[in-house]
Homo-oligomer: A and B are copies of this chain.
Amino acid sequence: MSKIRIAVSGYGNLGRGVFAALRQNPDMEPVALFTRRDPASIPSPAEGVPVVSVSEMDQWTDKVDVLILCGGSATDLPKQGPEAAGFFNTVDSFDTHARIPAYFESVDSAAKAAGHLSLISVGWDPGLFSLMRVYGQGVLPEGESYTFWGRGVSQGHSDAIRRVPGVLAGIQYTVPRPEALKAVRAGENPELTTREKHTRECYVVAEEGADRAAIAKAITEMPNYFDEYDTTVNFISMEELKRDHAAMPHGGFVLRSGKSANGTPQLVEYSLKLGSNPEFTSSVLVAYARALFRMKEAGRTGAMTVLDVPPILLLPEDPAEVRAHLL
């Protein structure tokens, strides 16, 4: 059987993770890396895989089954997603929740016009966590859903720390409050404020002679990012930062606490404990690229999300095999 031909656009943590994940999925093969940079400046990401300028995408339309877009959600994907859907079937990890409806529409139009299929917002949140919210609400229509994130690194909040005057480097961990999780698991269906759900832990390398008290104050009172949370600021050395905080762990919890019709409590809990956030997200992207390819083969076009994908399409095995062994 011929392999599913995968191209990747973008070569940051996520793009590198996709090439790594493809090694674990022998029914797929990488065929190209697209970049906006000078292709000559980037080494081949895998044996025999060329690095190609994004401006040459149009020459690859019949050599690629699925393009995995590994750009960022803030500025890259809103432009790249619809553009790429004109050339290829695409998978991306667009994760700005509030802008998903608009992004969906723009990719849907482009993909439909070109006869392609595009799967947006793939990963773990949005992604696997979205699936759990839907399953939870579907099977327990009377109840409450809760999502907790962490313990894990938030890139946005880490960036915000690094913009504070006097800060050389820093990292921020989002941490679910154990007492909030406990109340949800106990079936109490609490109404939780932002402050009651998560705390924020910052590890900061200050410039020599910087006013640490002022830095801590600037961080903990920062609007939108930290002011609604209980935030702790720990000053560490650059050496400690590099030694103890190089990994990008993350994870979280989705819970559905409901009652069946006779008032009986029922609890569903899903959790992820990820050694590397980008590597896991890449693994999810690759599995959904397989599913996308199959749905396209079955004639589907336009935009869709993980919520539209029959789970059995994620596995390379024959459906009868899956039913016999995993059902």
| Chain A interface (Cβ < 8 Å from any Cβ of B) | 17, 20-21, 23-25, 97, 100-101, 104, 121, 126, 128, 130-131, 133-135, 137-142, 185, 260-262, 264-276, 279-280, 282-284, 287, 305-312, 314-315, 319-320, 322-324, 326-327
Contact = CB atoms under 8 A, between A and B. Distances in A.
A166 to B, nearest CB: 33
Given A283-B139, A312-B308, A315-B138, A327 B100 contact: yes
10 contacts: A17-B260, A17-B261, A21-B260, A130-B326, A137-B315, A138-B311, A261-B283, A307-B312, A307-B326, A307-B327
A101 B320 contact: yes
Given A131-B311, A309-B310, A314-B139, A275 B283 contact: no
A177 to B, nearest CB: 19
A147 to B, nearest CB: 10
Given A260-B20, A312-B308, A137 B326 contact: yes
A287 B273 CA distance: 29
B307 A20 contact: no
A259 to B, nearest CB: 8
Q: Assembly of this chain: how many copies?
A: 2
A282 B141 CA distance: 12
Contacts of A17: 260-261
Nearest to A125: B327
Given A101-B323, A276-B264, A135 B131 contact: yes
Nearest to A276: B264
What 6 A-B pairs have minimum CB-CB distances, sorted nearest first?
A138-B314, A20-B261, A260-B279, A264-B275, A307-B312, A267-B273
A216 B141 CA distance: 43
Contacts of A24: 141-142, 260-261
Given A21-B260, A279-B260, A283-B140, A311 B134 contact: yes
A83 to B, nearest CB: 21
Given A17-B261, A260-B280, A261-B279, 16 more contacts: A20-B260, A20-B261, A97-B327, A128-B135, A133-B326, A137-B315, A138-B287, A139-B283, A260-B279, A261-B283, A264-B276, A268-B271, A268-B272, A305-B312, A308-B310, A309-B310
A18 B158 CA distance: 49
Contacts of A322: 134, 307
Contacts of A326: 130, 133-134, 137, 307
Contacts of A101: 320, 323-324
A307 B273 CA distance: 24
Contact of A262 (B130, B279, B287): B279
A323 B126 CA distance: 10
Contacts of A128: 135, 139, 268
B139 A280 contact: yes
B262 A272 contact: no
A133 B135 CA distance: 15
A314 B276 contact: no
A20 B266 CA distance: 15
A266 B280 contact: yes
B138 A327 contact: no
